[in-house]
Each structure stands twice: as structure tokens, then as C-alpha cells.
Structure 1
Amino acid sequence: MRATTHLRELLEKALAARDLAWPEKTTIEPPRDKAHGDLATNVALVASKQAKMPPRQLAEALREELLAAAGDIAAVDVAGPGFLNVTFAPAFWQRTVLEVAAAGDDYGRLSIGAGTRIQVEFVSANPTGPLHIGHGRGAAVGDTLARVLRAAGFDVETEYYINDAGRQMRILGMSILYRYRELLGEPVTEPEDYYRGEYVKELAQELIDREGMALLDLPEGKATDVCRLHGEQRILDGIKKDLQDFRVRHDVWFPESTLFAAGAVDRTFAELKAKNLAYDKDGALWFATTNFGDDKDRVLVKSGGELTYFASDIAYHDDKFRRGFDIVVDILGADHHGYVPRMKACVAALGRDPEASLKVILVQLVNLLKGGEQIAMSTRAGKFETLADVVAEVGADAARFMFLSRKSDSHLDFDLDAVKQQSMDNPVYYVQYAHARVKSLFAKAAERGFSPAPATPELLARCDTSEDLELLKLLEQYPDTIAAAARSFSPHLVSFYLRDLAGKLHRYYTANPVLTAGDDALVAARLHLLNAVAAVVKNGLRLLGVSAPDKM
């Protein structure tokens, strides 16, 4: 980012001297072939009409001014019809070490999101059972995205939408009551549709321990309500603990029931009717989503009076925008892909630009493996289905990193045995070891009584090999990675970057002696370079919610 910003400033100055405005279609980016320099720009092509001169002629003139204006630029080549290929001097890249050291934990923090409020809603699983590994992947993606957006300067609030109203919660209550009666020896008929997990029996036993047989004397509806409320609270407590253990934080826990209590659903229906976007037909209330490109209109209230999930979702998103968010992010399971156009229609009906105001991130399934073999999803002993089981088995570091090791809408194979191995084939270990390796070098240097001289431009000039410059350039790209991850809502870009940086560090360590490099100045220069790498690895891992150990 420093390189891009610096080049743009030089070009803007050169254009301003010719009374030329900065063209909107100007691009500054790394060329596809590294042999063509560090950055390439089309500025001469897109400004030539303003300048009233051929693009290549303008490019030649800009080339001379760039070389004359800045000692940071070593070479500028004019290519093709007028592209400028710019190569920075080694001293420019070497200063990155000083920049990293000066910024410390704040290296990579940006202000591109200043003034923009974003809400990230994720997990939001029904409180009808414990979180499974699919929820875990969504939790890692949502929490990391929020961290990345904050690092980029956005005002971010995270939220968990508690589906505490509707049919699934009633089924939970009935399921617990069924197990309650069964445990007390009452003659019961197995319900056709109920939650069968062992946790339901445990919840029923808790009620027996607390209430004894008192629920048997209550009307069934009242007894079901007692069971539902108990189950909801206990399950929600478990969900909160699981997320806390997974280093995931939600700023707001928003109960669906509050929408109804506040009249938000009725208010939203009234607004849609006033806009002629909702209408009555066959005893049901319909939303005219075909007005927004949907293949058919959708039911909001069924003929029997029951609300669809879509109805409360519209009211919920209306509430989000009323709270002042500029952008809302929904992180959903990949099985909800057909739901996205409806939510886009909902946002458009609320008077918002659906492309700018709503971002939907789909999270694909996780295939759980053990020793390379896929394992059945079960809560029985020896099987690992729940998020809590996985975290207990491999730790939060490994689980979070693996969930973020691929793009969220790609399938993920998660091998429980592989992520516990301390080998370079394990991506979690691979990145964490990059940090620990550098810290080990400093510990060894201290044991030998060696303390590196302070980092100065003169000292860092010793970092002049192609391997040095490759590391330096990648360090300089870290802020660009944060910007790209934030702008595209793609937190996996951070893990991709860290694997690349760790790989270059490990190769550098193998090919270049550090403590035995020769003279003290070279040793010190390389220690400062690697210390900057460790600092960036640590900063990146922090965004992923993963620790950076000093020893492994």
C-alpha cells in the first residue's frame, strides 16, 4: 500500500503540473510478470485525451519526471502502447522494516472504512441444540470478518439473532416434555416430529431435579411452555460458552420475539402494503417479490395465520437499517443460496440498494475426517459432531485456522488427526511455527550475548539479496491484503497471505544463515528483517483469532 500510495502521489503531482485531473479509470497494480517491475499503471493511456498527446509520448514524459522526482524509484519502463512499469529502489523496501517496528500491533490498520457502520450477523442457530461444526465454520468466518473490518477502520457491530419464536421452539418444548414424562414412567406416545438428541433427555432430567413431578399437574400447553423456556435458556447458555471457548464475541444477542413485542412485524407489513408490495390472496398475505426479479411472489402469513420465516426476516432487516447501519452482512449456510434473491428483494422493498446495503456470505459444509477417513456425524462416544467436541479435540487455534483455510463457499475437509500433527504439512503449525522460529532465533542470539544494533536505513541496506527483497515486498503488501479482505468481505485472504509469508520465511531461513551470517551488521540486519516478519505473522493471526506462540 505504501508503494501504491507513493506512486500515485508522484503521478498526481506530475499530472497537476500539466493541469490534468486524475483519471477515474487509472489502475496501479503489480504486473503479471515480476520481471516487468513492482507496479504497472495505465495512467498515460487514460490521461492522453486530456493531455492532447499520444499515450506513449505522455508515458515517456511521465517516466522522466518520476525518475527525476524520487530517489525511491530505480527504474521506469514504457511498455506497449503507453503502460508504465515502475521498479522501486531496495532502500524503499528496506524501510518497511522500520515501518513495521514503529507501528507494532497497529501495522496493517487502515482508515478506509471511516464513517461506515456495518453489522455482521452470524451463527444465529436456533437454540434447539448445541452448535455443530458447520456453525463453527460460520462463527470463524463471521468473527474474523468483523476483526478485519475493524482493522480497516469500519465501525462494526456483531450480532446473534436468537430464533426464540415459531414452530421449532414449540417442538423443542414438546420434545423435552415427552422425555420428562418418559423419565417419570408416564405412558407416552412418541411424537412424530421431535428432537431426539441425548441433550434433550438431560434437559428433561434437569427439570425433574428442579420441579419434581409438578409439570404433570399442569395443562399440556403450560407444561410445554415451561419446558421450552428451560430448554431455550440452557441451550443458549451452552451456545454462548461454546462461542466464548472458540474466541467468538457477539456484541448483541437479538431475540426474534422482541420484533413481535415491539410491533415491528406489523409495522413492516403496513409499510409494504402502503407501497403496494404486499397483498391478500387465498386468505394469506403475499410479498410481491416478482417486482424485484424473483421467480414468484412469496407468502408472509399463511392462510392459517402462521408467519413464515421470511416475514420475520423482513422485519428484522428493517430493524437493522433503522438502527443506522449502512451495510448489513448475513452469514448463512450454503443451503440458503436460494434465499439470497428474496433477501435482496426485501432490502430493495425497504428502500435500500440491495447490492450496496446487503452482503450475503455463504458457508459451505465441512467434511469431518479422522486419519483421512470421513467419520459419521454422531454425538456418540468417539465421534465429533459438535463445535465443543472439535475444539476440545484439536484446540481453538487449529479449528479457527482450518475453518478459514479456504474460501467460505468452498467445501472443506477437516482432518482431526492432521491438524494435531507438528509438521510442515499442517497449515496451522506451518504459520505458527514461522513466528516461533523467529523468536527462537532471538533467544539463541541472547544466549550468545549478541544484541543487534538498532535498525537504521544504513544497517538495513545489508538486506539486498533477492530473497531479502522478496520478503520485504511481501511485508509491504500486508496492509493491501487487509484492504482487499475488507472491501471484498473475504476474511480467508488473510490466511492465504499468512501461509505465503510463512512459506517465504521458512525458505529464507533454510537458504540464508542468520546468526552465522558473518559480520555483526549483517546478522543484525537479518534479525530485524525476520523480526518484522514475525510481527506481521502475529498481527495476521490475531485477526484470525489464532495465537502466535513463541515456542512450539
Structure 2
Amino acid sequence: MSKTATLAKQQMKDVITSAINKAIQNGTLPEGDIPEFIIEKPADKSNGDLATNCALVSAKTFRMPPFKIAQAITENIDLEDTLFTKFETAGPGFINFFLSQSYYSKVLKEVEEEKENFGQSNYGQGEKVMVEFVSANPTGPMHMGNARGGALGDCLASVLDKAGYNVWREFYVNDAGNQIEKFACSLEARYLQIYDETVPFPEDGYQGGDITDLANLYNDENGDKLLNVSSEERKKALVDFALPRNIKKMQSDMAKYKITYDKWFFESELHNSGAVKEVVDILTKKGLTYEKEGAVWYKNKEVVTKKLLAEGKKQDYIDKLELKDDVLIRQNGNPTYFTADIAYHKNKFDRGFTTLIDVWGADHHGHVMRMKGAMDAIGYDGDKLNVLLMQLVKLVRNGELVKMSKRTGKAIQLADLLEEVPVDSARFLFNTREANSQMDFDLDLAVKEDNQNPVYYVQYAHARICSILKALEKDGITPKDCSESDLDVLTAPEEIDIISHLASFEDEIISAAKDYDPTKITRYVTTLATLFHKFYNACRVKGDDEKLTQARLALCVAVKTVIKNVLTMFNISCPDSM
């Protein structure tokens, strides 16, 4: 919460503690240790600005009914030199406090002084956190799931950064293993089919038109030079040609999406360094592997069962999961994707990251527990790996499901989306629904330039304030430095509602960081825009009272500052005019 809001809560706690001690001293309450109590914002504004349950939780300590304890406390409350004007008891023993006008003035001064730093905190205390997101397979174009994951992951990283964490963004490139072999076989077949249409295509090959396009592109540049070489040489040449192009396209798409990674980490690095073999050796030394049918297996069932039992899960619950062991090394001697993934997450911890956050599709649900278990098995804390599971995205136009691109007639990819929908709109809209909820992405809404489009609605509030400031400047009225007493004239309900909302900005960021939920911030800023539009319709900024005009200008500037802070944090443009 803002420094002013923190101060108010601390003052309230001190006032209550002092009142209880006074009541004990004068005999109104018996001797006893003051229990922990909470201070929170009531759901109903008529119940004050802050409320406490101190009387209710003290019933056992003081062996009295809560309402009598509340009475004893309130008889000894002194609000002098605090940010509160009054208090009252309610219900079975709640005590409600009401903030003074000076509280709201202090909040506005705080926004004015901190400007772009308003909302920033040291909650995370610089903890090193890695957010790995998108990590799309480089054998084909990125899809809608990647579009959602990109927006969620990038904005989550921004929230964590604002909350005081040391954040690192990473993209894991699967440029090794079975999928690359499949990629190679698919490219080879399409290349050979240019010269002989009867060449069979692998049953499990990649059917996408992009494979054909890449084979044709290689042929355009190099002709038939691969016809008379070995299959291995041909496949290597095609992969060496095609894979860098796919990766470059991914990097280009991410850049267009306003996403910048600290590192693009290549799976091949793990294989070349021996890191993949190392995790197999570690698990083997711990007695967690065995050989069967020429393959090396990992005792996943044993490890995960042990972990779940330690967490208090019942055996019948575990049995229903139908846990199975996993292959680490195939019969052909090649490690599985799972083995490389263990090595990758080990590498993350080895680089000093203490919390790992992965953004995965919901279809990876079963992979979560086994990866956490594998981290425990090799000597790390699996609970420090946090996975954000993301549900599917459905594209909708005119209320109907859309699967094909108008331009290409093929399945819509991330690149197609970014050609049709403004990047700002995509980034904001993908952050309006929690990751664990299925999402209908409305293409019509995303391109609308009216208040139905949430990002336009928020941007318009910022532009509207800029317009107000420009119009008043033409009339010779510019914002002046207001003292706290100058701002005390902001007493209209619409003004108080805005300032209360501004005061909660830091709290909302911390909450979003704790829950790994950046959608809380899009909701926050949308509400702020709504409160501003409501204020603008109810209160004239320019009036005959110069003091009130200046105070309202200060309020407008504060709203403008916080909207800009949110949009800048989410790497969304913040126009001065629309």
C-alpha cells in the first residue's frame, strides 16, 4: 500500500494497542497479553474506512463478551495527531475507523512526489526470480496459446519487478531431441518430393505448410545439391538451414509483441555441456533409476508418492493419480525431453535463481508434479518451482469461432494475430482473464476504438486528462504546487473514491505478485479509468474557486500518473491524444 496508507494502518494499530493498555491499567479490562488482530478495509463503506476485529479475538484473553471489550477499548481511544476523525463500534464487537481529509491530501502529495515510482515497493527484497514463458517449439510457427502466454508471462514479470523482485525473462528453445529429428525427417521428405512426388512422408511428421515452404526455400537457393548425399547429411543441412530461420522469426514476432528476453536458452547447450547426462548420473547414484527393455527409467511414482504423503495426501488420493515411471534414456541411447527438462531446471537453480516460474499450457498439468518431484530428487526444493497453467484461447469474430486466417486460409498464428490486432490491445486483453480460465478472444472488440475495448477505455482516460490540461493551459491555467491543506477541499464522493483507489495501487501490485496474477492490475486500472470518468462527469475541473480548480487539477495529474505507470509497466503505449 502507499506510504500514507501504511502510516494510517500503523497509527490505527498503535491507537488500539494504547487504548487496550490504558483499559488494563484503569481496570476496565483484566490483565492479559494482547492477541494478534487484523485491520482491513470493510466491504461496505458505511462501516468506515478501516475496521478491526481486536475485540472479537480478545474475548478468550479477557474472558469478556466482545462488545464489552470494544466498549472498554473505545472509551480509551485518543485520535489526536492521527489520520482519523472518528470511530464507532458495530455488530458483535467490530471497531470501525474513519479517515480524516488530511489522509486523502497526503495520498495525492505522495503520488505527486513519487511520480513514475509510485506503486514501486521492496516487497520482493531483490529475490532472484526467473519467469520462463512461451518457449514454443522452434519447428513451427507460434500459435494462440503462445500469444496468451507471451502477454501473461511478460506482464507477470513486470509486476514482480515493480514489487521489488530481481526478475529475469527467459525463452527455452528446444533445438535438440526427438522433435528436431522429426523436423529433419519432415524437411527431408518435402525436399525430396520436389523431385519425386512419390516419396513417402513420415506418419508422425510435421504436416504444416511451413515445412513445405522451408524445403522450397532451400531448393530455390541451393537446387538439387542434397539429392545425392546421405540421409543424415541431407537432414543436417536442411535443419541447419531451416531452424535458424524459424528461431529468427520467433525472435522477430516476440519483438513485435514488445517482449524482450534476457536470454534465449538453447536446449543443445545442455546436451553439449554434459548437463543432461549429469542428472541421469545423479538420479542413478540416489537409486532412483532402473533399466528395463534397454531403456533407463526414473522412479517417478516412488518420488512423487513420497512427496505427496509428506504433504499430508491420503494414499487413496495418490492411487487415483495413476502415477507412472518415466523414461530418461531411450533404447537408442538418446535422452528424452523430460531428462533435458530436469537438466534445464537444475541449471536455473544453479544460476542462482531462488524462485522459478514457468508459464505452461494446461495440457502440461500432469508434468507439474513430476518436475517438482524431480527437483526434490536431485537435491533442490521442488516447491520453489511454480507453474502457471494456462487454459486454451478461442478466437471469436461476430460471435462465431474462428480457426482460419483470412489472409492465408490456414490456422491463425501469433504473427497473423499481430497483423490484425494492435499489439497494445492484444497485450491488455490477454491480461483481462486469469490464466486458469478459458478465454474467448474477441477479434472485433480488439480492434474497436471505443470504450467497449478495455485498453482503449483506459488509454482514453489518460488522453482525456491530457486534453483537459491543454485546454486549461490555453486559458492561462496550469497546475500549481498545492499544499496538503490546499487539497483538503477535495471532499466530493467521486474525489474521495479516486484517491482511495490510488492509495491501494502498491497493495494491488504486491497482491498480483504474490498470486502470480497480472490480471489484477488490468482490473485495477480499468476501475481507475471508470472512477475518473465518473468524477469528470460529476465535478467541473475549471470553476470560479481557484483553490478548488487547482486541487482538482492535482487530482487529474495523479490519475494520469498512475494510469501511465500501469500502461508503461505492461509495455502498452500511453497516448496524450486519441
Q: TM-score range by the shorter chain?
A: over 0.9
**Mapped contact 1:292–1:348 kept (Cα < 8 A):** no
**Mapped contact 1:11–1:62 kept (Cα < 8 A):** no
The amino acid across from 2:291 in the alignment is D
C-alpha spacing 1:26/1:212, structure 2 compared with 1 (3 Å)? farther
In the alignment, structure 1 residue 519 sits paired with structure 2 residue 538: no
Q: CA deviation at 1:86?
A: 1.9
The amino acid across from 2:10 in the alignment is E
In the alignment, structure 1 residue 425 sits paired with structure 2 residue 426: no
Residue 458 (structure 1) aligns with: 485
Kindly report the root-mean-square deviation, in angstroms, between the aligned alpha carbons of the 2 structures: 2.5
Q: CA deviation at 1:402?
A: 0.9
Deviates more, 1:444-453 or 1:102-111: 444-453
In the alignment, structure 1 residue 136 sits paired with structure 2 residue 135: no
Task: Choose the corresponding residue for 2:423, options 382, 396, 407.
Answer: 396
**Mapped contact 1:30–1:40 kept (Cα < 8 A):** yes
Residue 441 (structure 1) aligns with: 468
Cα distance in 2 between the residues matched to 1:92 and 1:140: 36
Deviates more, 1:425-434 or 1:506-515: 506-515
Cα distance in 1 between the residues matched to 2:370 and 2:266: 22
Cα distance in 2 between the residues matched to 1:532 and 1:67: 32
SS at match of 1:455: coil
Task: Choose the corresponding residue for 2:557, options 528, 531, 539.
Answer: 531
Cα distance in 1 between the residues matched to 2:34 and 2:332: 61
Task: Choose the corresponding residue for 2:340, options 296, 312, 316.
Answer: 312
**Mapped contact 1:118–1:326 kept (Cα < 8 A):** yes
Deviates more, 1:3-12 or 1:458-467: 3-12
The amino acid across from 2:490 in the alignment is C
Q: CA deviation at 1:310?
A: 1.7
Cα distance in 2 between the residues matched to 1:63 and 1:348: 52
Q: CA deviation at 1:382?
A: 6.1
Cα distance in 1 between the residues matched to 2:75 and 2:179: 70
Counting only pairs closer than 5 Å after superposition, residues 56-455 of structure 1 correspond to structure 2 as 59-60=70-71, 63=74, 67-184=78-195, 188-290=199-301, 291-293=303-305, 295-355=323-383, 357-378=384-405, 381=408, 385-455=412-482
Deviates more, 1:87-96 or 1:137-146: 87-96
**Mapped contact 1:78–1:85 kept (Cα < 8 A):** yes
Residue 549 (structure 1) aligns with: 575
Deviates more, 1:71-80 or 1:361-370: 71-80
Cα distance in 2 between the residues matched to 1:261 and 1:16: 66
C-alpha spacing 1:173/1:541, structure 2 compared with 1 (3 Å)? same
| Structure 2: stretches of 5+ with no match in the other structure | 22-30, 306-320
C-alpha spacing 1:221/1:21, structure 2 compared with 1 (3 Å)? farther
Cα distance in 2 between the residues matched to 1:286 and 1:395: 48
Cα distance in 1 between the residues matched to 2:385 and 2:73: 41
Cα distance in 2 between the residues matched to 1:94 and 1:382: 58
Q: CA deviation at 1:61?
A: 5.6
Offset from partner CA, 1:191-224 (integer Å, 9 cap, x none)? 3232233322332233224333222232111110
C-alpha spacing 1:4/1:286, structure 2 compared with 1 (3 Å)? farther
Counting only pairs closer than 5 Å after superposition, residues 501-516 of structure 1 correspond to structure 2 as 501-515=528-542
Deviates more, 1:362-371 or 1:146-155: 362-371
Deviates more, 1:75-84 or 1:250-259: 75-84
**Mapped contact 2:101–2:491 kept (Cα < 8 A):** yes
Q: CA deviation at 1:66?
A: 5.4
C-alpha spacing 1:258/1:54, structure 2 compared with 1 (3 Å)? same
Q: Percent same amino acid at aligned positions? A: 39
Residue 472 (structure 1) aligns with: 499
SS at match of 1:214: coil
**Mapped contact 2:176–2:268 kept (Cα < 8 A):** yes
Number of aligned residues: 549
Q: CA deviation at 1:301?
A: 2.5
Cα distance in 2 between the residues matched to 1:45 and 1:461: 35
**Mapped contact 1:11–1:66 kept (Cα < 8 A):** no
| Structure 1: stretches of 5+ with no match in the other structure | none
Q: CA deviation at 1:461?
A: 1.3
SS at match of 2:102: helix
The amino acid across from 1:525 in the alignment is A
C-alpha spacing 1:46/1:281, structure 2 compared with 1 (3 Å)? farther
Deviates more, 1:276-285 or 1:165-174: 276-285
SS at match of 1:409: coil
**Mapped contact 1:375–1:383 kept (Cα < 8 A):** no
Q: CA deviation at 1:72?
A: 0.8
Residue 311 (structure 2) aligns with: none
C-alpha spacing 1:64/1:526, structure 2 compared with 1 (3 Å)? farther
SS at match of 2:491: coil
Cα distance in 2 between the residues matched to 1:12 and 1:28: 8
TM-score, normalised with respect to structure 1 = 0.93
Cα distance in 1 between the residues matched to 2:574 and 2:77: 41
Cα distance in 2 between the residues matched to 1:377 and 1:223: 33
SS at match of 1:461: helix
Cα distance in 2 between the residues matched to 1:402 and 1:529: 27
TM-score, normalised with respect to structure 2 = 0.89
Deviates more, 1:453-462 or 1:501-510: 453-462
C-alpha spacing 1:362/1:256, structure 2 compared with 1 (3 Å)? same
Cα distance in 2 between the residues matched to 1:82 and 1:548: 47
Q: CA deviation at 1:474?
A: 0.4
Q: CA deviation at 1:334?
A: 1.2
Offset from partner CA, 1:27-86 (integer Å, 9 cap, x none)? 322112221111222345446767788755664565466543433112222334543322
C-alpha spacing 1:65/1:277, structure 2 compared with 1 (3 Å)? farther
The amino acid across from 2:252 in the alignment is K
Offset from partner CA, 1:165-212 (integer Å, 9 cap, x none)? 112112222222222233345752233232233322332233224333
Cα distance in 1 between the residues matched to 2:38 and 2:141: 48
Q: CA deviation at 1:420?
A: 1.4
C-alpha spacing 1:452/1:255, structure 2 compared with 1 (3 Å)? closer
Counting only pairs closer than 5 Å after superposition, residues 4-15 of structure 1 correspond to structure 2 as 4-10=5-11, 13=14, 15=17
**Mapped contact 2:119–2:506 kept (Cα < 8 A):** yes
C-alpha spacing 1:168/1:20, structure 2 compared with 1 (3 Å)? farther
Q: CA deviation at 1:112?
A: 0.6
Cα distance in 2 between the residues matched to 1:319 and 1:281: 28
Offset from partner CA, 1:327-353 (integer Å, 9 cap, x none)? 100100111112222122122223344
SS at match of 1:410: coil
SS at match of 2:248: helix
The amino acid across from 1:335 in the alignment is D
Cα distance in 2 between the residues matched to 1:12 and 1:350: 46
C-alpha spacing 1:279/1:40, structure 2 compared with 1 (3 Å)? farther
**Mapped contact 2:396–2:402 kept (Cα < 8 A):** yes
**Mapped contact 1:379–1:386 kept (Cα < 8 A):** no
Cα distance in 2 between the residues matched to 1:56 and 1:270: 65
